[in-house]
Structure 1
Amino acid sequence: MMYDVVVIGSGPGGEGAAMTAAKAGKKVAIIDRYKEVGGGCVHWGTIPSKVLRHAVMEYVDFRKNPLFQSHIENLNVTFPQLLGAAGRVIEKQSSLRKRFYERNTVRFIDGHARFVDPNTVEVMSDENVIERVTGKKFVIAVGTKPYRPSDVDFKHPRVLDADTVLQLDTTPGTITIYGAGVIGCEYASIFRNLDCKINLVNTRDKLLSFLDDEIIDALSYHLRDQGALIRHNEEYAKVVPFDDHVELHLKSGKVLKSEYLLWAQGRTGNTKGLGLENVELSTNSRLQLDVNENYQTSQPHIYAVGDVVGFPGLASASYDQGRFAAQHAVHGECNRRLVDNIPSGIWTSPEISCIGPTEKELTEKQIPYEVGHALFRSLARAQIVRCEVGMLKILFHRETHEILAIHCFGHQAAEIVHIGQAIMAQKNGANTLHYFADTTFNYPTMAEAYRVAALNGLNRL
């Protein structure tokens, strides 16, 4: 059967592409290696880690709440119990997305897809049944998997990555996390709040260097304050696993001993076995694909979206990339503006979210900006929910007062940032700091931080 659009991968990028093409009246098929839809986002990445983080924070809040102090002597929540909560959400999300495809008459095919020529893929099911699927246009949205160097034994039960950590059947007493990117920092927060001793090994000189310096410093301080030991500018020499522990040998001569090692150093594209050589496509060193501004590969009828094309590697961006690729495949044009300036959300403890350039980037571009601050400890709502750590920072142009960026650290940061995002997107002078200074916010709320920050910024002028 000939399809107008064939999508490979049912994560956010694949879903965005399939839904957009289907709603445009096209005949669409979506192929995934697994019988349950949702891709790595639902089953191994975004959803499981965020459910874990939420459950851990509820546990921590309960333990710290003075109302319950006399009732928690025997309270002991394990990592496997938290994974059970994640499993329930995963099942709901996968079922929901499957219904999306059914309602929009998108055919879902489970099996491993492999190109045999520019317009045909073979799909092999788990039962070794092969089906040929032909299409006019293709969207590759196969995502990524944890990077595994060949000299590290990932078959050993004490050596984990971001996928296999979700199969852990115990709560570690000690764990070393190699890699202090988003995944490494998030899991450091999760395990530390379960009273696990943490070694967080960073190959660079600071955590999450793409963030604003003030937030980087705050994250480092609070991870250390919670008890995590952070080691910067370190590289591994070898990993030596034993029956009851694992040793990480560093090139600096240090040896870190812990019950488990979580390898969180980068990801690689799931392009191996995709038959790209049969359509004259090549990948970079991380097995990812290069695309143009319309998400087309070097073969114009084959698109690629999501993590398999690299930065920014966010589920939200992947979904929009899928939408825009499908728009171009169907209509010959797309508006990719929405993925040029998207918020980032990092679910550490406390969480982080931002949109727009950092102070360092604005300074390098010689843009005259000023800063408006709101410290959460001064907000009544933050005091009520006992989440006084954090701040909202608004960067705005000194002359026009245009909002240039929002940086937030603390309780509900990933929700709060969207208020600033909405105002930044306004036109004709409506995207200035005065909106927040002249707007009445509900009291007491976390959103009130915008009014406090706006008045603080105007007072600096």
Structure 2
Amino acid sequence: MTIREFDCIVIGTGPGGEGAAMKLAKAGRQVAVVEAHNAVGGGCTHWGTIPSKALRHSIQTLADYRRNPLFQHTRNQIEVDFPDLLRAADGVINEQVRTRYRYYQRNRVEVVFGRARFLAPDRIAVERPGGAAQELTARHFVVATGSRPYHPPDVDFSHPRVRDSDSILALAHTPRSLTIYGAGVIGCEYASIMSYLDIKVNLVNTRDRLLSNLDDEITDALSYHLRQSGVVIRNDETADRVEATDDGVVLHCKSGKKFKTEVLLWANGRTGNTRDMGLEAIGLTPNRRGQLEVNASYQTALPHIYAVGDVVGPPALASASYDQGRFVGAHIVDGECDWSLIEEFPTGIYTVPEISSIGRSERELTAAQVPYEVAEADFKSLARAQITGHTVGMLKILFHRETLAILGIHCFGEQAAEIVHIGQAIMSQQGSANSIRYFTETTFNYPTMAEAYRVAALNGLNRLF
């Protein structure tokens, strides 16, 4: 068997793997990427970010149509099933795959399909579905294999009524009722999506409030709007067992509560994709969550093997994973990296309405005894929001009372994930350039949603005395 040689082999073609491969290829390195799926893009493209956000967009379009007074006479005549929404998402997924594959071709990165397994610290075997295998060797490796939904051993995921965030995308009908166990980002997004299809949704949360890492006022608003759309939220619950039958699924909680619905979506936890990769044989042992431990340069215990993205744990965001991959690519090329990843990065949660945040929350600032003030703008007062009908939401800026430096930005409402980047740009400036006064001294297009920054800044400065 001929063993093919490369400068670097990247295992996984999600955002982290792509970022590393592109950086290395641009530097003239001979690179191969190994993908276990039959198409490039990783879980982000096929089961995670892209399909769920495409579903969310379709739901928002449907909601806008039903709300628009121009279509009042026909709004109740349109019925949309869950499979219809999935077909709409397929077009986006296919286009993303074509785009990503062109990137690899254009940069002369070889794509090898199959499952990678380490035979030695410098050599892997790529096993193809038909049983054939080939061996590849390289000086450096990047493990970017992502993660998968966590499956407790006592839950039967082979039952057609028990789904995880991957298999929910294969649902061939619109269920009348759904229980979602786990109220993290995935759970909240799917609760929002399903409720707009007139599905009765139970959202069972293992914590005392939704998305407890975010600003309390924002998550209170999310809870309110989920309940307004018919979602039943139960906090501080722990699953005891799952009883799946022919006519439904019963989630038994340790509190004694029972939730019986047509389908159960288990959305509690994820596991790194490190199983059967031969890592232990070369001295790399994943932790109990299947994740690899890395240093500040994303090197594992074997310095020539790097790991990025979900497989190394938080923040487990596609945006951050891509940057990690680029960082690692630069580190491999130069032996060091003269730039560092930002510590403050935005989070986007694509519920209806969506949420985005960057920086610290009121709870964190209070605990740290930082003297801060709050600047707020309600979307209902913005002309652009009134024109589009998206009046639900708010922009909240937290700033230092004395220096006026921006400490945190929290947004709830339509286009929140876009709006947050304006504040992020100013928040990242050094010294006096990071000031809430920037927004009062800058002219914004009118009418726009970005105008919320001027409204909020004036509101905040008026609070000072």
Which of 299, 305, 309 is matched with 1:302 structurally? 305
Structure-2 separation of matches of 1:73 and 1:456: 41
Map 1:172-251 → 2, pairs under 5 A: 172-251=175-254
Q: How far apart, in 2, do the equivalents of 1:245 and 1:367 lie?
A: 51
The reply on whether 1:348 has 2:348 as its aligned counterpart is no
Equivalent-residue separation in structure 1 for 2:107 and 2:435 (angstroms): 41
Tell whether 2:414 aligns with 1:401. no
d(CA) in 2 for partners of 1:355, 1:127 = 47
Higher mean displacement: 224-233 or 42-51: 224-233
Which residue of structure 2 aligns with residue 30 of structure 1? 33
Report what 1:87 is aligned to: 90
Aligned with 1:21: secondary structure? helix
Corresponding residue number in structure 1 for 2:272:
269
- Percent identity, aligned pairs only, is 61
Name the counterpart of 2:153: 150
2:293 to 290, 293, 299: 290
- 1:364-423: CA deviation from partner (whole Å, max 9, x where unpaired): 222211111001111111111111111001111111111111110101000000000111
Match of 1:119 in 2: 122
Rounded Cα–Cα distance in structure 2 between residues aligned with 1:417 and 1:6: 36
- Partner residue, 1:420: 423
CA contact (8 A) 2:248 2:260 kept: yes
The one-letter code sitting in structure 1 at the alignment partner of 2:395 is: L
Equivalent of 1:443 in 442, 446, 455: 446
Q: Structure 2 length as normaliser, TM-score? A: 0.98
Counterpart Cα distance in 1 of 2:5 and 2:81: 50
Structure 1 residue 72: deviation in Å?
2.9
Structure 1, unaligned stretches of length 5 or more? none
Bigger mean CA offset, 63-72 vs 416-425: 63-72
- Is the CA contact (8 Å cut-off) linking 2:66 and 2:76 kept in structure 1? no
Residue in structure 1 matched with residue 51 of structure 2 by the alignment = 48
Which of 14, 19, 23 is the matching residue for 1:20?
A: 23
1:365 equivalent in alignment to 2:368: yes
Structure 2 residue aligned with 1:69 = 72
SS across alignment from 1:157? coil
Secondary structure (helix, strand or coil) at the match of 1:205 reads coil
Does the CA-based 8 Å contact 2:327-2:341 persist in structure 1? Answer: no
CA distance in 1, matches of 2:327, 2:76: 53
Q: CA deviation at 1:336?
A: 5.7
| Aligned alpha-carbon RMSD (Å) | 0.9
Contact 1:321 1:339 (C-alpha < 8 Å) held by counterparts: no
- 2:302 alignment partner, SS class: coil
Q: Which amino acid aligns with 1:451?
A: R
Q: Which amino acid in structure 2 is aligned with residue 178 of structure 1?
A: Y
Letter in 2 for 1:59: L
The amino acid across from 2:234 in the alignment is R
In 2, the alpha carbon distance for the partners of 1:447 and 1:74 equals 35
Distance change >3 Å, CA 407–CA 336, structure 1 → 2: farther
Counterpart secondary structure, 1:429: helix
5+ long unaligned stretches in structure 2: none
SS across alignment from 2:220: helix
Q: How far off is 1:21 after superposition? A: 0.6
What is the CA-CA distance between 1:263 and the residue it aligns to?
0.2
Conserved? CA contact 1:324–1:335, under 8 Å: no
**1:5 aligned to 2:8?**
yes
Structure 2 distance, partners of 1:202, 1:336, is: 39
Could you say which residue in structure 2 is the equivalent of 1:105? 108
Contact kept? 1:374, 1:456, Cα under 8 Å: yes
Q: Does the CA-based 8 Å contact 1:188-1:198 persist in structure 2? A: yes
Query: What's the CA shift string for 1:228-287, capped at 9, x where partnerless?
Result: 000011111111111121111111111111000000001001100111012100111111
Q: Amino acid of the residue matched to residue 371 of structure 1?
A: V
How many aligned residue pairs are there?
A: 461
Counterpart CA distance in 1 for 2:201 and 2:338 is 44
Shift of the alpha carbon at 1:335? 4.9
